Amino acid sequence: MSTQKRDIDVIGLLGPLRRYALSLTRDPAEAEDLVHDALLRALEGRSRFRQGQSLRPWLMSILHNSFIDRLRTRRAEAVRNAEISLRVEPAIDAGQDNAMRLADVRRAFMALPDEQRAALHLVTVEGLSYEEAAVSLGIPVGTVVSRISRARTLLREMEEGTVPNNVVRLPGKESRDAS
């Protein structure tokens, strides 16, 4: 009975968890991933939940700590990416269309959000299965699938020139609505 009551309490807290995640991330998709990750951590750490303790602050704390962990991971990845970009040859022979196209694809790939780029890289470049990528990233398979789907959609939009203003467009790609 108490387990069932706790399950109902968790379901009732999804709204507040989503609102808090959205206020932290400012991105609905990322907020949903954050809630998902926090609930997974809570489930994995349920033995640390003390009987009589309030569930809401415990879950909010897990969500907040998950957000902080993501920030730290992003900062470390940004430093690594900056170091890598310093070692990459930026010059491309203008006479070679394939090389220019490859550079465009690389720029679009590097413009993807960190989580999407990591998932897409593991599956498409490294050849990992979705399950293996999920284990590598420490996230559920469904999250990997979601991130890859969003990454592919964003790359397609970059190619078509229909991405929102806050996303990098591929060079020479104009919106079809432009006059």
The whole-number pLDDT of residue 7 equals 47
User: Residue 136: inside a domain, yes or no?
Assistant: yes
Same domain (yes/no): 145, 96: yes
Question: Is residue 86 included in any domain, yes or no?
Answer: no
The pLDDT value recorded for residue 175 is: 40
Does residue 36 lie within any of the structural domains?
yes
Q: How far is CA 175 from CA 15, 46, 53, 82, 126, in A?
A: 37, 50, 54, 30, 32
**Quick check: is 29 in a domain?**
yes
The pLDDT value given to residue 141: 94
Same domain, 73 and 7: yes
179, part of any domain: no
Instruction: Tell me: do 56 and 98 sit in the same domain.
Output: no
Domain that holds residue 11: 2-77
Same domain, 73 and 105: no
Q: Note the pLDDT of residue 165.
A: 54
CATH of the domain at 122: 1.10.10.10
Is the residue at 169 inside a domain? no
Residues 119 and 150 reside in one and the same domain: yes
Tell me, yes or no, whether 83 lies in a domain. Answer: no
**What does the pLDDT read at residue 100?**
78
pTM check: above 0.85: no
Q: What total of structural domains would you count in the chain?
A: 2
What is the pLDDT, as a whole number, of residue 1?
43
Average pLDDT per 10 consecutive residues for the chain, totaling 179 residues: 54 92 93 95 90 87 94 92 78 66 84 89 87 89 94 88 60 42
